[in-house]
Structure 1
Amino acid sequence: MAQKATKTLASRNTARLNTTLYLTLAVHFFYWLLRALLFRSSFTRKSLVLYALLCAPQLLIQFFIFERSGRPTYGPDGQVKRSGEDLDAKGLTEYMWDVTYWTYGVLVLAAVVGDWAWWWMAVVPAYSAWLAYTTFAGVRQGYADAAGVPHPQPASKRQQKMEKRGGQKVQYR
């Protein structure tokens, strides 16, 4: 059972990356199939430019970030050399999964209802800007009151008691 966590992470990453690859191929094929067969009249240069421009972030994330950092590598003997980064990590990885899934939704919507659905891609940068603003405002508010005057953090009860007794005293032996 050597390196059980590494093997588990490697198998989980491989399964998730394979599922994502098949889902990406299916969603993009669905878009092109509907555009080529049912909505041939709206299959224009503008449509191609919108597709290329707005699907590029998802494709770059999947093929250049997730595949390179998350795909495990194996040695010649079949042992896991590197399990890859955890694809379930919080923070930026979670945001990149959101971009991937949002692109799938908008792509299906654009395939079914038309080019106006590409406007839904504006939600991602707008949401990012809103998160950045609220984070900045929250941090700024944490350091200052409504008038902009900084206020010190209240001391804990233990700190207050120690200050009452004359502060922390160091004993030398």
Structure 2
Amino acid sequence: MPVENIFSGPGIFIWGVDDTGADEVDAVTFDLTQGGIRFTTTTTWNETTVDQYGNVPVRKTSTGTTGLVEFQAAEVDYEKVVKFDPSVVKVADTLEPTKVKYQVTALAGKTLPRKRAVIKPQGVTDPNMFIYLEECSVEFDADFGYRTDDNLKMPVRVPCFPALDATPKGLLYTWGDITATA
């Protein structure tokens, strides 16, 4: 009997795909990672107890689920960061447009934009193998190290949220072909 449903290999993360799975015009693609792409979900629970059973739960009810994608981008590209982080500003020199700097502000109160994203195994074209994250933001905090035996990496965290306007309501992620209908 053949062994199936074992998945391995590198992946590609794309932030900004439409409801058919196609890249949006301003999509951000991370296709060079080190250490892989990890997607996890966390469900919180309420454990109901009654006096007659002491501290032993008599029922467990979910109170919500969130998702999180984490990876190290091998390519440090602030052109990508400007698209998803409102704290980063690109400044091009007016006399010499090739002179560019990226300024990172630290003021509170900026809201990260949310978009649909997808994780695709590299080299796989079968959409049944894709994971679509219905609504997520991309977080980036610098964690650069200059070392002789390692390259710079851009640590990326992508919190995923339930989409209240999706069908079904509260959709967090879809494993498989996003265009499949009932």
Q: TM-score range by the shorter chain?
A: under 0.3
Q: Which has the higher helix share?
A: 1
Q: Which has the higher strand share?
A: 2
Larger Rg: 1
TM-score by length of 1: 0.21
TM-score by length of 2: 0.20
